[in-house]
């Protein structure tokens, strides 16, 4: 069965500093991978996705993620964090044998210090 | 374009009572999902509809949860009777089709508290 691990429950960074959120997945085939952001009281918004091809994918709001098959990782990065980036971030892996079914990690809460 | 609408936004009930949540997906979206998000966890898929047919309900506790999507548009998720462990945010999402080609759009959720 597929699974996702986000090792960091909570991360605090200073505004303007770089950010990396970790995600490790378990899946038997080539995965579909996603990062979502959830602001308080809001639904999830897709930041970026990886299906195939270039292992470095660009997303919205200045985020990018790198797929590393050898490490079963799909870490999210941003070079300079803004206060508005404070939110909860979820990594997910898609089951391409059951179209549309995603398994989510338990999330990482990002706090941004002024 | 209007997003996914959900109501109510908040609901407090006592255990053993019944509750229903409503979702109106984005117009034209054939696929609709209901997720349960317990505090401190990621969303877990409860049921997936394609038009008005069920694609996947393998994680739906069918002894107490039910869902329908009449006419392939709006959907209702019901819990009867509720247990304390049902306290969670219930998220509805929709997409144009069930493949990962198209993004899932999420509603704001309904926060359920069972006392």
* Beta strand pairing call for A10-14 and A108-113: parallel
Q: B38-67: per-residue pLDDT in tens?
A: 999 999 999 999 998 999 999 999 999 999
State how far residue A45 is from chain B, nearest Cα, in angstroms: 7
Q: Which residues of A touch B107 (CB under 8 A)?
A: 43
pLDDT mean across residues, chain A: 92
> Nearest chain A Cα to B30, which residue?
A100
Least confident of A91-100, B29-38, B81-90, B100-109: A91-100
Q: Give the separation between CA A7 and CA A10, rounded to whole angstroms.
A: 9
State how far residue B88 is from chain A, nearest Cα, in angstroms: 13
In this model, does residue A9 exceed pLDDT 70?
yes
Taking an 8 Å Cβ-Cβ cutoff, which residues of chain B contact chain A?
4, 31, 33, 40-45, 48, 55-56, 91, 93, 95, 98-100, 103-109
Q: A34-85: per-residue pLDDT in tens?
A: 999 999 878 899 999 998 888 999 999 999 999 999 999 999 999 999 999 9
- For residue B77, name the pLDDT band (cuts at 50, 70, 90): very high
Report the alpha-carbon angle A8-A24-A85, nearest 5.
50
User: What local confidence, expressed as pLDDT, does residue A101 receive?
Assistant: 82
Q: Which residues of A touch B104 (CB under 8 A)?
A: 44, 46, 100, 102
Establish if A51 touches chain B: CB-CB under 8 angstroms. Answer: yes
Neighbour tally for A38: CB within 10 Å = 22
> Nearest chain A Cα to B108, which residue?
A43
Return the percentage of chain B with pLDDT > 90, whole number. Answer: 84
Whether residue A100 and residue B98 make contact (CB cut-off 8 A), yes or no, is yes
- For residue A98, name the pLDDT band (cuts at 50, 70, 90): low
Q: Which residues of A touch B99 (CB under 8 A)?
A: 99-100
Whether residue B56 and residue A51 make contact (CB cut-off 8 A), yes or no, is no
CA-atom Rg of chain B in angstroms: 13
Average pLDDT over residues B99-112: 88
User: What local confidence, expressed as pLDDT, does residue A15 receive?
Assistant: 97
Establish if A17 touches chain B: CB-CB under 8 angstroms. Answer: no
Residue A68's contacts (CB-CB under 8 Å, 6 or more residues apart) are A55, A74, A75
In this model, does residue B1 exceed pLDDT 70?
no
Tell me whether residue A93 is exposed, middle or buried, using C-beta atoms within 10 angstroms of its C-beta: 0 to 12, 13 to 18, 19 or more. Answer: buried
Q: Which residues of B touch A105 (CB under 8 A)?
A: 42
Phi, psi of B97 (to 5 degrees): -150, 175
Secondary element (H or E) of residue B32: strand B31-37
Quickly list DSSP for chain A.
--EEE---SEEEEETTS-EEE--EEE-SSSPEEEEEEE-TT--EEEEEEE-SS-SEEE-GGG-EEEEEGGGTEEEEEESS--GGG-EEEEEEEEETTSTTEEEE---EEEEEE-
Phi, psi of A96 (to 5 degrees): -80, 5
Whether residue A101 and residue B103 make contact (CB cut-off 8 A), yes or no, is no
């Amino acid at each position: 069965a597929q699974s996702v691990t986000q090792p960091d429950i909570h991360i605090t960074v200073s505004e303007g500093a770089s950010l990396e959120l970790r995600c490790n997945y378990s899946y038997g085939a080539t995965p579909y991978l996603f990062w979502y952001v959830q602001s308080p009281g809001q639904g999830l918004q897709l930041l970026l996705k990886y299906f195939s091809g270039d292992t470095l994918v660009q997303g919205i709001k200045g985020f990018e993620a790198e797929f590393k098959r050898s490490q079963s990782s799909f870490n999210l990065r941003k070079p300079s964090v803004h206060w508005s980036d404070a939110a909860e971030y979820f990594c997910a892996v898609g089951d391409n044998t059951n179209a549309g079914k995603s398994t989510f990690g338990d999330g990482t809460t990002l706090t941004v210090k002024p | 374009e209007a997003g996914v609408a959900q109501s109510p936004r908040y609901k407090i009930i006592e255990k053993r009572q019944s509750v229903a949540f409503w979702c109106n997906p984005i117009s034209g979206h054939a696929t609709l999902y209901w997720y349960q998000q317990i505090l401190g966890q990621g969303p877990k898929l409860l049921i997936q509809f394609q038009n008005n047919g069920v694609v996947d309900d393998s994680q739906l506790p069918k002894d107490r949860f039910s869902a329908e999507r009449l006419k392939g548009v709006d959907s209702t998720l019901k819990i009867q009777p509720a247990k304390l462990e049902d306290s969670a945010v219930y998220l509805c999402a929709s997409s144009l089709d069930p493949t990962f080609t198209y993004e899932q759009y999420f509603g704001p959720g309904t926060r359920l508290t069972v006392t």
